[in-house]
A and B are shown apart, each in its own frame.
Chain A
């Protein structure tokens, strides 16, 4: 088992390295525009795969599968709502963003804000705020798959070794050719993710009979509005994610990269199909596993009533599958995590080096220097797991929510300097306060985190316009 896993990891690292090196043939690594954004010239297929692999992290086969196992089909409603919103946003809003990126030559998401509102300092502050929200998230992303792989080998391969492998994969995929090597390796990793999940579902369909659905129905797990999925829970889960395409810089930046309108259209369509298939498969893994467990066909000792155990469903399921399948799926989860984290690191490096004024003149050197620093930070946070990192990681999308009105205002030509400065301070302050205090409210705190910055933005914009 350990030899097979070692060999598979070696093959995986070799594939990532070779693909990265191949992508370098098309790159100009001395040009910051090429390094950070592939000169806006990626094909529809590569754009789609990097969008999908960046969006879909280890959460899918760990978090979503565990959520489906414990709470039923409501998990599909939550994840499908995200996909429907994302596809609609990419069609209706993304097309405008893509046109801006062409006419203005934007490299980073925050550049759009900085240029539209003309305030450098707040733009730099927002870039640093995104860094604070996303580095802890990346640390937890890497830790999950490393823990699973370690568990699959019975602890023979320990977590620090696997974290080191992840760090090497991330470093190689970014450093070789910047955005191009990230995008190309994302494409390969996306294929690994979806194909191995499909094989896992086929194995489960072979083991679990259709009568399992009767058991799921009896336990109210096919009811999307059961005792767990109340309207409060559904919106608390869904709201941070439905605007993910706008608020998360690593995916927003990917809107810039398709080389023409046809490539952009292909990117959205291929991503949407990938997303639909991967979502259905991840939920099916959870539901079929629960059915198999209830019928006594699969041994997964996870108590559905204990939320702390939900993330253990996939690791424990893999102890039931043939070793080759367990390794393949573990590697796919590892790929899902590294393909998300490499994109986050490169986007953050491009934002800090481009949008912090004093660093801009030497942005390529600064950006390249920041990459290993971010990787080391992520490694240390994954290894030590300090409490504040765990808290920030689980709330990263919630922390980015208050940036929504700033982006929408910039894209649709609303708002002004005053509204940008005010909301740029009030929004993050509201999100951090709500996350830190978590006050008992009759509505999900995410509603407040969207509402207060949006109202601030609207009121200050209206007052400024009247004054003018």
Chain B
């Protein structure tokens, strides 16, 4: 489980670096919404990882 959470956090971090190019050309509020979701997901996965760590 820890490995899954670690991988998810790394993937999200890398995604934050390529997202502007995936969304290239978009002229709506998609970027705003996408980065809010991406950051929220990172927070959720980090919380799950830290809660497991805190129990050890």
Contact = CB atoms under 8 A, between A and B. Distances in A.
Interface string B18-42: 0111011111110110011011101
Interface of B: 6, 9-10, 12-13, 16-17, 19-21, 23-29, 31-32, 35-36, 38-40, 42-43, 45-47, 49-51, 53-54
Contacts of B21: 225, 231
Given A225-B20, A265-B51, A73 B31 contact: yes
Contacts of A273: 43
B28 to A, nearest CB: 6
Contacts, number: 115
Top 3 nearest A-B pairs (CB, nearest first) are A225-B24, A224-B20, A261-B54
The main secondary structure of chain B at its interface with chain A is: helix
Nearest to B15: A84
Given A85-B16, A224-B20, A268-B46, A261 B53 contact: yes
Nearest to A90: B46
A229 B23 CA distance: 12
A217 B26 CA distance: 9
A205 interface: no
Nearest to A234: B20
A371 B49 CA distance: 38
A224 B26 contact: yes
15 contacts: A76-B32, A77-B31, A81-B17, A84-B13, A84-B42, A92-B10, A95-B53, A225-B20, A225-B25, A234-B20, A264-B54, A269-B46, A272-B42, A272-B46, A280-B36
B39 A222 contact: no
Contacts of B54: 261-262, 264-265
A383 interface: no
Interface string A135-172: 00000000000000000000000000000000000000
Interface residues of A, number: 40
Chain B CB within 10 A, most for which of A74, A77, A84, A238? A84
Given A87-B43, A92-B9, A276-B43, A224 B23 contact: yes
